[in-house]
Structure 1
Amino acid sequence: MKLDKLIGSRFKERPADCVIDSHALMIRGGYMKNVGNGIYSEFPVLKRITAKIENIIREEMDAIDGQEVLFPVVLPADLWDESGRYESVGSELLRFTDRNKARMVLAMTHEEAAVQLVREYAQSYTKYPFMIYQIQRKFRDEARPRAGMIRVREFTMKDAYSFHTSQEDLENYYDKCYVAYNRIFQRAGIPEVVTVASDSGMMGGNLSHEYMLLTPVGEDSIVLCTECDYSANMEAAENKMVNEETGTTQELQCIETPDCKTIEDVCAFLKSDVTSSCKAVVYQKNFDDTFVVAFVRGDYEVNETKLRNLVGEEIHTAEITEDDCLAAGYIGPYQIAKEAEVYLDVSLKGLNNVVAGANKEGYHYTGLNLERDLENPEFVDISKVQEGNVCPCCGKKTITIKRGIEVGNIFQLGTKYTKSMNMTYTDENGRPQYPIMGCYGIGVGRMAASICEAHHDEYGPIWPISIAPWEVHICCLRADDEETKVVADTLYKKLQDAGIEVIYDDRTGVRPGAMFSDADLLGVPVRVVVSPRNLKENSVEITTRDKSVKEMIAVDDAFDYIKDLKDKLYSRINEKVEESK
């Protein structure tokens, strides 16, 4: 490929609307162009990268007996009615009506389509187990697209669906997918991806894991233990904590606290510590607007995912009026209105002398002891984990929190979709059974952007050779010099004939600095500089994009050196790829 024919411009200035480096570099480097809010077209450079990621994914899915299929992007709403998700999924699902007034959706996930595809085929136990997968465009009407390809509305995704006749068989296959996913990320040059337990969310199911690439710009909070292998997404992380210094028990007193509606205001007014306070966070059920009150220690935050799972239905932030049963700003667990559904967090267990709302305008309690003053209080985990909490695995106070980007996920779905969509098979005893499903997803564009985010410098991406747009980048300085051009052309052809992917920059009238700047933005692993100055020593300069190699190599030896260097770069990656299961 000649660089002067490459579609897409490269430029120096950082776009003002790019908040993270990968987004800025991929715009500057001519990888993609914004079409609309959270929607991008891909230039050839990015398409070459994503094609290589897709090929790695295909090889690993095929290796565990996956069969590639293709589902429609547009689906009839009737399918989503069958699963119950047409109503339960929020506004992220784009619903529309076609010219015949039929209700349709733009699929953001394809569980319904997968079940619809195979439910007539797989009516006998002899057809199981099997897995189908696709790599396909999807649309999710994301409320806040950001960070380039990290969070978009239209995206390419690999999603796979496995079908089983027993939970044991699903778990065995789930383990195979777990390893296959590790291999995918390792082969793509990001072995640092960690696996964390996660919440299944709208997907449903009992067990799920996310694959997270740790980076300070990540959107997700990852809970890790520094002493053991425990890891979980913040949404699913168990909050294990003990209130050790609870103080001397005091009498319950109702104190006037005028104009103190926040827990910080109350504690400042009473000169008490926020760690001895009880904070109320109020929600309402979407279905009937019943109040749901979550009480946590004053220095903790409510984990809405945990709370939603306990409530068992969707909730939203409450709007409290003067006519309601709750006194906004003064809500407490003692003698709270019976109309409200109340949850007490584990962060409150064992506390003495708690400051809490008195459920009366302008008043708070002091000296509250929940175990003493409430009737059989039940404590549940509805709070976000904090640094230094107790690890639920090893029991040490070694919890740390880092940021990460989700690059893949796997779910044990169970029979959520096969039951709701009436997919059955006849078992060996002639009885009808519901198949058990697993689901496995990877965002291809997000993965490319995440790799760029993890592997770049101030000048551009540093692509792992396994997914780089090209393997070698030749810079011919002074292409108007005959000898230089001949040497560069000859090397270019020789590499191409050997099946090595080469981008060749032989533009005339372009300064070396501009050539090198473009090369940095393209991030190709091996760079070869052919110039009149180097040829005076009968050599070419060969470097790697990560700066680990910089050598002057004789012209006659250049081809063999490049080929060996390419093989070494692949070997570095393959050394970190675990054995398939």
Structure 2
Amino acid sequence: MRLSLLFGKTQREIPGEAETVSHRLLLRAGMINQLTAGVYTYMPLAWRSVRKIMDIIRDEMDAAGSQEIAMPVLQPIELWEKSGRGAAFGDNLFRLEDRKERTLALGPTHEEVVTDLASHYIQSYRDLPQRLYQIQTKLRDEPRPRGGLIRVREFIMKDMYSFDADEAGLEVSYQLMVQAYKNIYRRCGLKAMAIEADSGAIGGKASHEFMVLAESGEDEVIFCSGCGYAANKEKAVFNKGSVATEEARPTEEVATPGKEAIEDVAAFLGMAEAQMLKCVFYVADGEFIIAVVRGDLEINEVKLKNTLKAADLRLAVAEEVKAAGLVAGSASPVGFSGKVIADDSVVEGYNYVGGANVTGRHMRNLNLGRDFTPYKTADIASAAVGKTCARCGGTLDATRGIEVGHVFKLGTFLAETFGAVYTDAEGNQKPCIMGCYGIGVGRLLAAAIEQNHDDKGIIWPLPIAPYQVHLVGLGLDNEAVKAQAEKLYADLTASGIEVLYDDRAESPGVKFNDADLLGMPLRLTISPRSLDKGGVEVKRRSEKAFELVSVEGVMAAVKAAMTAQ
């Protein structure tokens, strides 16, 4: 491809709206163009990379025994009402009406569609397992699109769905996909880690996310370097320890003038924060609740939402707290007639301090079961840096990452709902056991840049680079240079090497800056000076130094460089 003919232009200035490295570089390199919030056009260079990513994904999906299909973007709203997941997606689900006033959804995912499809074709255990995938556009009405391709409203996704006869079969499908995903990221030149994850609106029994570690990542990963445990913060577990066992003492009201924060009350009473009860007020699907956690811990709202099986969860406002008869800063679950959700850490402690529901006063010696009984007890606390690993006793740490894939064990819920059942060898009818497996293609492209760049621009991993070689011609008004550059371009292309040839009448500075910004793995520079010295400058994008190679030896040098990367 001649750069003089390339559709799109590079920019020198950093776009003000760009928040992440990949967003800035993709815009500066002219690789994407924003149409509206969270909606982008892939320009020719980026689209070449996307196609390579999709080719790698198809190779691995096919190798794992999956078959490619293409399902509709337009989905009858009745499918979402039948599954009940329309409420879970909420406003993120695009809805529209056709001319006959029938409501449709623009597919954010395809579990409903594929399960309905499977119900028509899977009849016997002999029809199983089935693994179906597609690479297709999805739409979600994200409230805050951000980071360029990191969080968008329209995106390309590979989604695969497995149907098995039993849990053992699901485990086979699941592990096949986990390995396929590892292969995909490796082949794309990315370092990704699998972590335990929350299943979110998809639901299911178990799930793992694949994370590309990057400072700009929107997900926090909790990990233990001692045993290798890693999980999304919304899922991470940890050893919470326990408060010393002692006899339950009688409750006692004490004055705590001007003390509302946990740390202030604890210091005033000369007690540890772990001996405090922290109460946080929420509204879950319209119902006021109190969440209780030990004073040295924080509530994890995703865990809380999952415990409640709530579609919507938000902090209560002051008016709602007052209407519930509670006093912020001096509240406790004692005497509250509504739902109380307690973290499991509270079960292990005794004689806690909690609010007296009177301003400036607290209660000593509150005990679970005697003074208050939770509606439910569960793990609703957030893991954090410095906490103790539940597996090995080591110390947890945290980093940030970009989710580039997610795999779920869905179970039988959707199969039962949509009638995706089979007859087993004994003639009994059973629901298929399902899994689903997604990769965001555009997000993976952005993650590759987040993980591979410097202050000059992108450093593409070879397997997904738009072009393998960036040929820079300097002094092309010199006939000898032009002839040699054209011959080299033709020879490389004829040999199967993908070449972006900068044949523009621009200064060396502009050409070198653009080469660094666009980030092709190998740069070849041909100029009057290089020819006078006997050849062509060969430089890897990831290295500072270049090597002077004879004109006759360039082809061998390029092929060697391609093999080495």
Q: What is the TM-score normalised by the length of structure 2? A: 0.94
Deviations 1:269-313 (A, max 9, x none): 657654442211111231xx3322111233422111211222223
Match of 2:562 among 562, 566, 569: 566
Is the deviation greater in 533-542 or in 322-331? 322-331
Between the aligned partners of 2:490 and 2:3, the Cα distance in structure 1 is 15
CA contact (8 A) 1:84 1:420 kept: no
Of 286, 296, 307, which residue of structure 1 is paired with 2:304? 307
What are structure 1's unaligned runs of at least 5 residues?
A: 570-581
Residue in structure 2 matched with residue 95 of structure 1 by the alignment: 95
Q: Give the aligned partner of residue 579 of structure 1.
A: none
State whether structure 2 residue 172 is matched by structure 1 residue 172: yes
What does residue 58 of structure 1 align with?
Answer: 58
1:140 to 2:115 alignment: no
What is residue 575 of structure 1 aligned with on the other side? none
2:402 counterpart of 1:412:
no
- Any conservation in 2 of the 1:161–1:437 contact (CA below 8 Å)? yes
User: Over residues 525-574 of structure 1, what are the superposed CA-to-partner deviations in whole Å (9 max), with x where a residue is unaligned?
Assistant: 000000101111111100001007621101111111111111211xxxxx
Q: Please name the residue that 2:21 is paired with.
A: 21
Partners of 2:248 and 2:430 in 1: CA distance? 57
Return the alpha-carbon distance in structure 1 between the equivalents of residues 469 and 154 of structure 2. 31
Q: Indicate conservation of the 8 Å contact 1:371/1:377, yes or no.
A: no
Aligned residues: 562
Alignment-derived partner of residue 67 in structure 1: 67
Matched, 1:159 2:159: yes
Amino acid at match of 1:207: A
Counterpart amino acid of residue 487 in structure 1: Q
Whether the 8 Å contact between 1:241 and 1:346 is mirrored in structure 2 is no
Q: After TM superposition, give the deviation of residue 105 of structure 1 in Å.
A: 0.5
Matched to 2:401, the amino acid is: G
- SS of the equivalent of 1:113 reads helix
1:193, distance to aligned residue in structure 2 (A): 0.6
Distance 1:376 1:561, change over 3 A: closer
Identity of aligned residues (%): 41
Distance 2:364 2:274 in 1: 13
- In the other structure, the counterpart of 2:76 is 76
Q: What aligned pairs does 1:319-468 form with structure 2 within 5 A after superposition?
A: 319=317, 320-333=320-333, 335-337=334-336, 339-351=337-349, 354-368=352-366, 370=368, 380-394=378-392, 396-468=393-465
Higher alpha-carbon deviation: 240-249 or 474-483? 240-249
Specify the alignment match of 2:124 in structure 1. 124
State yes or no: 1:256 paired with 2:230.
no
Q: Is the 8 A contact 2:119 2:418 kept in 1?
A: no
1:516-535 correspondence runs (5 A): 516-535=512-531
Q: Does structure 2 conserve the Cα–Cα contact (< 8 Å) formed by 1:204 and 1:416?
A: no
Question: Would the aligned equivalents of 2:281 and 2:321 in 1 still touch at CA under 8 Å?
Answer: no
Task: Note closer, same or farther for the CA distance 1:371–1:421 as it changes in structure 2 (3 Å cut).
Answer: closer
Q: Secondary structure at the match of 2:8?
A: coil
Render the CA deviation track for 1:410-451: whole Å, top value 9, x for unaligned: 111111211111222222222221111110100000000001
Q: Using the alignment, how far apart are the partners of 2:411 and 2:270 within structure 1?
A: 52
Distance 1:264 1:33 in 2: 49
* Equivalent-residue separation in structure 1 for 2:247 and 2:116 (angstroms): 63
How far is the alpha carbon of 1:246 from its aligned partner? 8.6
SS in 1 for 2:323: coil
Contact preservation (8 Å) 1:139, 1:153: yes
Change (3 A) 1:247 1:428: closer
State the distance in 2 between where 1:313 and 1:25 align. Answer: 39
Match of 2:214 in 1: 215
Q: How far apart are 1:261 and its partner, in Å? A: 4.4
Deviations 1:28-81 (A, max 9, x none): 000101111111111001101110000000000000111111111111111212
Provide the TM-score with structure 1 as the length reference: 0.92
In structure 2, what is the Cα distance between the partners aligned to 1:437 and 1:380? 27
CA distance in 2, matches of 1:96, 1:89: 15
1:370·1:377 contact (CA, 8 Å) conserved in 2? Answer: no
- Secondary structure at 1:237's aligned position in 2? coil
3-state SS in 1 of match to 2:561: helix
Please tell me the residue identity of whatever aligns with 1:433. Answer: K
The AA in structure 2 aligned to 1:198 is A
Let me know the Cα RMSD of the aligned residues.
2.2
- Residue 12 of structure 1 aligns to a residue whose secondary structure is coil
Secondary structure, in 3 states, of the residue corresponding to 2:362? strand
Instruction: Give 2:548's aligned residue.
Output: 552
Q: Which amino acid aligns with 2:389?
A: C
Distance 1:168 1:246 in 2: 43
Q: 2: CA distance between counterparts of 1:327 and 1:244?
A: 26
- Structure 2 unaligned runs (5+)? none
